[in-house]
Amino acid sequence: MKILVTGGAGFIGSNFVRLVESEKPDWQVVVIDKLTYAGRRENLENTRAQFVEGDICDPIIVAQAMEGCDMVFNFAAESHVDRSLMGDPNLAGAFVQTDVYGVYVLCEAAKRAQVQRFIQVSTDEVYGDVHDGYSVESDPLEPRSPYAASKAGGELIARSYGISHGLPVITTRGSNTFGPYQFPEKLIPLMATNAIDDGALPIYGDGLQRRDWIYALDHALGILIAGEKGNPGEAYNVGGGNERFNKDVVFDILRLLGKPDSLIRHVEDRAGHDRRYALNFDKIKALGYAPRFDFESALEATVRWYQERQDWWRPIRDGEDYRDYYNRQYSARLAGS
Ligand code: NAD
Ligand code: TYD
């Protein structure tokens, strides 16, 4: 089996490559990644994957990378909600470009290459804000941020290739993911790295928003199982079963690091902030998926990883790019808190 992993130098993609190498030692893995601010070669350290630097929007390089592949796992995306909200057309436009147009380019190439499976990695955010109960796969897509809308658009493009051209598309919709190699703009690594440095921890609004958390290797496992055992044309929720208030996650991180709650600042909320995501994931459980990691020990392992791997995150956080982003996103908020 030869697989193409797009966005494999990112957070979940690189964890997926590691999982595949341990679960399927005879599979050949090709990674294509544009190495945006979020993609890093070092995320693939100690893996055997063949690496192609390239953009999924480029049909020529995509066709080359896909040659001989049996399955495509599309992780490549602009993935951060806050960046999709920044009033900068270059930033918000990149979401539509990669998360929608890029999916079209991949589907065209996959159709020509006659791949056996095309796995579109999507998110629980496509369901929108979930007041009560749990999202099931047949629920309407009601995305509310430019990120979530772009991911929903990508899903629909892939779905249309399944219906119109018989491309064997399987979609996964995963919960909020955490673990090693996550870029320190997302909640858990941002709070852990700030707290290690005794910096302020900016919680949006009241911090009573809820997310279902899943460890990266469990999310990767769900995607692998969906790809191998799922039915073309179907979507599968990949949940962790760990619903937590944001505030409680931040308290847990502080406790694990032995830092005081006084580092917390309640800052101006994110625009259109979804209060809750929650998945019913019975459908993928029926394929044999069950999370292997419990939230508390996986969070502890993650926080310890950030303590130990300062060689990984300090160069990111000290870089001009990250500092610019951080200032734009947080300076005024923290000044007003
Ligand atoms: P990430 O931002 O860490 O990684 C994305 C990767 O895609 C990076 O390596 C980046 O360089 C690459 N990339 C971006 N644009 C590209 C392009 N045009 N061509 C080629 N490569 C490109 O994201 P992540 O958190 O690992 O998310 C991976 C996938 O999982 C995304 O599709 C995301 O929507 C989905 N997802 C993420 C979460 C989460 O909590 N992080 C939850 C559910 C689903
Ligand atoms: P995030 O990791 O950005 O994931 P998503 O927006 O995809 O759910 O954020 C998780 C939650 O944490 C979300 O409700 C927003 C909140 N949050 C903060 O309160 N402060 C922060 O600095 C960040 C990055 C997130």
Nearest ligand, measured from the Cα of 75 = 1
Q: What pLDDT does residue 119 have? A: 99
255-293: pLDDT as tens digits: 999 999 999 999 999 999 999 999 999 999 999 999 999
Residue 34 CB–ligand 1 contact under 6 Å: yes
Residue 269 annotated among the catalytic residues of the structure: no
Binding site membership of 151 for ligand 1 (Cβ less than 6 Å)? yes
Which tokens in the block code for residue 25? 């030692």
Whether 85 lines ligand 2, by a CB cut-off of 6 Å, is no
| pLDDT of 90 strictly over 90 | no
User: What's the whole-number mean pLDDT along residues 301-314?
Assistant: 98
87 pLDDT tier (thresholds 50, 70, 90): confident
Q: Whose CA is nearest to atom 7 of ligand 2?
A: 81
Sign of the four-CA dihedral 75, 77, 83, 84: negative
pTM of this prediction?
0.98
What are the boundaries of each domain within the chain?
2-179+213-238
- As a whole number of angstroms, the distance between CA 238 and CA 221 comes to 9
Q: Is 125 considered catalytic here?
A: yes
Q: Among 55, 99, 125, 212, which one carries the catalytic annotation?
A: 125
**pLDDT for residue 48:** 97
Please give the mean pLDDT across all residues of the chain.
97
Residue type, 137: E
Name 126's Cβ contacts closer than 8 Å, sequence gap at least 6.
Answer: 141, 142, 143, 148, 151, 152, 155, 173
Per-residue pLDDT at 91 exceeds 90: no
Catalytic residue among 134, 147, 161, 325: 147
Ligand 1 binding pocket includes 123 (Cβ within 6 Å): yes
Q: What is the pLDDT of residue 246?
A: 98
Mean pLDDT value of segment 73-85: 98
Q: pLDDT tens for residues 193-234?
A: 999 999 999 999 999 999 999 999 999 999 999 999 999 999
Domain 2-179+213-238 matching CATH 3.40.50.720: the answer reads: yes
Distances (CA, A) of 22 to 9, 28, 45: 17, 12, 14
